[in-house]
Structure 1
Amino acid sequence: MCRKMAAGLGKRPMLLVVPVVLVLLLPDGTVPVVQAQQSSDRTGAIIFPDELSTRYEQERETLAKEKRESSRRRTDEASDELDEDDVRYDYDNGSEEFYGLPIDYARQLSELNSTSDILNLLDPDSIDQRIFMDGGEYSGRDIGVNPVPAACEPDSQLVSLRPENLTSSRYYYYPSCTRVKRCSGCCNTNQLVCEPVANRTILYKVNILEYRSGKRDKFSHFDLVPVEEHVRCKCQCRVKEWHCTERQVYNPNNCRCECTNKEDRNRCLQERQLKQWNPNTCTCDCLPRNEECTSGSHYDRSACKCLPQKPWPGRSRNQSLEERRKLIVKPSPVLPDPY
């Protein structure tokens, strides 16, 4: 039995497995880019530069659209819940500006040294960290140069050494300007501004020279020019306590003046179709007018709408035309006195 099976196996044809290697010929100058981080739907695929750029542009536009729609939905949902502590009306630009960034958090952001430092403050599920890495799928020309944050610190700035009231063109200062350290930088919110917390005064010895046409200039004297230099800087409130009016109280934690007449604000909000609350002046102002009043009416600023004109004093509204004609007196000539 075993011999028959062995004989049968010996008569079957043998299958030879030969590995086939596929060689891909590319045109001159084309370099395939094999990424270490591949997408889940194309594991092991070869991604070319042009294809990578197209994919990234499509994904970036889609993500940007989703973020705009999500932000718009959140704004609509929260618009009914905002109070005067969250919304401030900008009368110069005619728009409402939302101050949702806490002051302490804005100061924390101003102390960061690089863009990558902010990753520790973000939700890890909200971003794809590959866009912050050197190399990988989102590299090359698709990512620009990372800006260095302009922290609030002393930096060199030009300062004039000439007095503003200098009128004579015969004498001039040399040098006429120099560079000193002055506070500058970003504070990540309009409520904060980079200001000095420590400074010093430097006395610069400036040459006062006399200009002489056709001759060499003549030295006149030295002038000591005091210039203030900033030593330490800090993001501080732009609105100070002295900005507040008698109707306001200063809130240093939120860097703003808050109204104390809450009852006036509540009454104003009940007439929001005609009026709006102004937190800068703590007054109830009329909304911008869309149309002019018709004849026989006038615009009442206390009611914020057009009201009928009041009748003249001494005249009844129901007074008939005949009764008014009785008041008309015809003039009669007066002869001059002969004497």
Structure 2
Amino acid sequence: MNLLQKTTESNMKSQLLVFLSLFCFWTAISEDVPKSPNKEDGLPDDVLKMIAQADIQNIGDLENLLGVEAKDPAGFSPRSRTVHARPKAAGCKTRAITVDVPRYKVDPTSVGFFLWPSCVEVQRCSGCCNTKTYKCIPSHAIYRPFQIAKLTYRYGHKELTVHTVSIREHLSCQCTELAKLHHPRFPSKYYKQSTDN
């Protein structure tokens, strides 16, 4: 009876020790887990919304909006410092980019031809918005026509034809809240991937 009692006490102590170890481990891990994945660095929603909708061109604009002065960890005043360049935000706007001419738009039935030019320059929206909850998207776009030369070689003869290909170009952009963007009903694997051309 005494041996059974000692074994039971030993088992209880072992179980209690395992439980306390797991509790301490869980407490340590849970402190590193972000509390809310939708918030940026724990900022309140009203502050995030105010920042997201403001026209911020530089750090001074951000200081004025928030009513605080930025501090430099090195101890220099940001206003008097001239050694380091101030960052310039890559704002949401149209920029010239290079896009490959989609071969299927010239001739969807063949692959044995040469295109010139093989790529064109168009305006597309790019840049960042003030918060991660907003995305830079086109607010107005058109399809711009390009003349593309197609060279084929048939039965020993060269044949050069000119084709008009329409490629999408963005005219204006805006930061739009991700929650307001269209979410498809089915997973993306059910949709044909768009090249935005």
Q: Normalising to structure 2: TM-score of the pair?
A: 0.58
The 8 Å contact of residues 153 and 159 in structure 2, kept in 1 or not, is answered as: no
How has the CA–CA distance of structure 1 residues 189 and 218 changed in structure 2, closer, same or farther, with 3 Å as cutoff? same
1:103 partner amino acid? K
Say which SS state the counterpart of residue 158 (structure 1) adopts. Answer: strand
Runs (4+) of structure 1 moved beyond 6 Å? none
1:120 is aligned to 64
The 8 Å contact of residues 172 and 211 in structure 1, kept in 2 or not, is answered as: no
Cα RMSD of the aligned pairs, angstroms, is 3.4
CA distance in 2, matches of 1:206, 1:98: 48
1:154 partner amino acid? T
% same residue:
26
CA distance in 2, matches of 1:229, 1:219: 30
Q: Establish whether residue 98 from structure 1 lines up as the match of residue 39 from structure 2.
A: yes
Deviations 1:114-140 (A, max 9, x none): 3443332243456367223344xxxx4
Deviations 1:296-325 (A, max 9, x none): xxxxxxxxxxxxxxxxxxxxxxxxxxxxxx
1:130 is aligned to 77
1:202-221 matches, within 5 Å, as: 202-210=144-152, 218-221=158-161
CA distance in 2, matches of 1:242, 1:200: 20
CA distance in 2, matches of 1:113, 1:221: 48
2:23 is aligned to none
How has the CA–CA distance of structure 1 residues 127 and 241 changed in structure 2, closer, same or farther, with 3 Å as cutoff? closer
2:126 partner amino acid? S
The 8 Å contact of residues 134 and 176 in structure 2, kept in 1 or not, is answered as: yes
Q: Establish whether residue 175 from structure 1 lines up as the match of residue 117 from structure 2.
A: yes
1:312-323 matches, within 5 Å, as: none
1:1-339 matches, within 5 Å, as: 87=36, 96-99=37-40, 100=44, 101-108=47-54, 111-124=55-68, 127=71, 130-135=77-82, 140=83, 143=84, 145-164=85-104, 168-210=110-152, 218-240=158-180, 242-243=182-183
2:48 partner amino acid? P
The 8 Å contact of residues 205 and 223 in structure 1, kept in 2 or not, is answered as: yes
Say which SS state the counterpart of residue 136 (structure 2) adopts. Answer: strand
Q: How far is the alpha carbon of 1:235 from its aligned partner?
A: 0.3
2:80 partner amino acid? M
How has the CA–CA distance of structure 1 residues 104 and 131 changed in structure 2, closer, same or farther, with 3 Å as cutoff? closer
Q: How far is the alpha carbon of 1:219 from its aligned partner?
A: 4.5
How has the CA–CA distance of structure 1 residues 170 and 188 changed in structure 2, closer, same or farther, with 3 Å as cutoff? same
Deviations 1:69-118 (A, max 9, x none): xxxxxxx9xx9xx8xxxx4xxxxxxxx3425353342131xx33334433
1:131 partner amino acid? P
The 8 Å contact of residues 143 and 169 in structure 2, kept in 1 or not, is answered as: yes
Q: How many corresponding residue pairs? A: 142
Deviations 1:240-271 (A, max 9, x none): 375399xxxxxxxxxxxxxxxxxxxxxxxxxx
Q: How far is the alpha carbon of 1:170 from its aligned partner?
A: 3.2
The 8 Å contact of residues 207 and 219 in structure 1, kept in 2 or not, is answered as: no
The 8 Å contact of residues 63 and 69 in structure 2, kept in 1 or not, is answered as: no
- Where does structure 1 lack aligned partners over 5 or more consecutive residues? 1-75, 88-95, 246-339
Q: Which has the higher helix share?
A: 2
The 8 Å contact of residues 157 and 181 in structure 1, kept in 2 or not, is answered as: yes
CA distance in 1, matches of 2:78, 2:97: 35
2:169 partner amino acid? E
CA distance in 1, matches of 2:102, 2:181: 34
Between structure 1 and structure 2, the one with the greater Rg is 1
Say which SS state the counterpart of residue 98 (structure 1) adopts. Answer: coil
Deviations 1:5-45 (A, max 9, x none): xxxxxxxxxxxxxxxxxxxxxxxxxxxxxxxxxxxxxxxxx
CA distance in 2, matches of 1:244, 1:230: 22
Q: Which has the higher strand share?
A: 2
